[in-house]
Amino acid sequence: MGDVSKDAESAGFAAYYAYLEDGQLVMEPHCSCGAPLDESYYCEKCDQRCHCTDVICEDQATLNLVEKYIRTSPKFRSFKAILGKKKSDT
């Protein structure tokens, strides 16, 4: 997978990149440097553990679903969602 967009990187925050795959929400954690994070949210590039509460949504349908979770699920209440793009893998 590619890195999160330069806009997210320049904002200086670790975030999830969210998209729909076969109708299911997929959220991939990324460091503020743009590198994907492992299951422990550790960035080898920055040598730090990240905390993600922002969700960059690929499209409006994904944003709508994430916002629904933010409104209805206690686990998502501290999250913020925005529309964003992912860098291409090239």
What is the DSSP secondary-structure string of 9-27?
Answer: HHHT--EEEEEEETTEEEE
Provide the β-strand partners of residue 24.
21
Tens digit of each residue's pLDDT (9 = 90 or more) over 27-73: 999 998 989 998 899 999 999 899 899 999 999 999 999 999 999 99
pLDDT over threshold 70, residue 1: no
pTM of the model: 0.76
Give all strands of the β-sheet with 80-83 in edge-to-edge order: 24-30, 15-21, 54-57, 80-83
pLDDT over threshold 90, residue 2: no
Total length of the chain: 90
